[in-house]
Each structure stands twice: as structure tokens, then as C-alpha cells.
Amino acid sequence: MTDSASATEEAMKKASALPTWVIVALSVFFGLFYAYFVWNAVDFLGQAAGGAQPLNGYGWFVLLLSVVFPLIAFGVAFAVGWRRRWWQFALVLVTGLCLVAVFWLNILTYTVGPAGTSMLG
């Protein structure tokens, strides 16, 4: 009976490798950077929607995807890394942030370049 109890304690100890305050602190710190990308995407969407030419369905899809993608990336990075050591958790969040930055630059390049006219109605 003590073997199963110690195995249960070890499993619970391994399930939460970091203290809660470390998880919250790292999540808030990196979450602010993810929120910055969301805010930029919302602002860009507002500017594009309120422009002289309206957006078509494809334009709405692309720009709304740029709003949702950082949220999805943060959720996936958090789910993958929260049970790891603090530096591994931070590294996973930075990796997700790098993916979001590349995606945002792709969105900007696409919408500002010559192909951006396909998003206008």
C-alpha cells in the first residue's frame, strides 16, 4: 500500500514541476508580448476595414486570422511548456512568440505588397 501511495505522490510532484507563482510570472511576462501582437492586429484590421475601399471576405479572413493566431500560439505554447522547468517553459513561450512574429511579418508583407489588392472589395 505504501508503494502505490509513494507512486501517487511522485506522479503529483512531477505533474507540477514549477511553483504556481513561477508559471504565472512567466505567463504574464510573455503574455504581454503576445497581447502586443493581438493589439497590433486588431488596430491593423480596424484601419483596413475603415479605409476607402472595403475588405472582401478573403481580407476579413486573413486579418482576423492575424488576430486569432497569437492567442492560439500562446495557448499551445502554454499547454506544451507549463509542466517543464522554468527555462524550458520560457524557451517554449519564446519559440511561440517567434512564430507569431514571423506570421505577423508575413501578414504585413502580403497586405502591403502588390498581392494586398486581392483583399479589397
Assigned domain for 8 exists: no
C-alpha cell at 116: 494586398
Assigned domain for 74 exists: yes
Which domain does 29 fall in, by range? 17-119
Assigned domain for 29 exists: yes
CA proximity to 65, closest of 85, 37, 88:
37
The contacts found for 49-53 with CB under 8 angstroms, 24 or more apart, are 53/120, 53/121
Assigned domain for 92 exists: yes
Assigned domain for 42 exists: yes
Assigned domain for 1 exists: no
Averaged pLDDT in 10-residue chunks for the chain of 121 residues: 61 69 95 96 92 86 95 97 93 97 92 76 69
pLDDT of residue 46: 92
pLDDT of residue 85: 93
Q: Is 64 helix (H, G, I), strand (E, B) or coil?
A: helix
Assigned domain for 36 exists: yes
Assigned domain for 56 exists: yes
Residue 121 CA: distances (Å) to CA of 68, 82, 100, 110:
22, 43, 27, 16
CA proximity to 101, closest of 61, 75, 69:
69
pTM of the model: 0.81
> How many structural domains compose the chain?
1
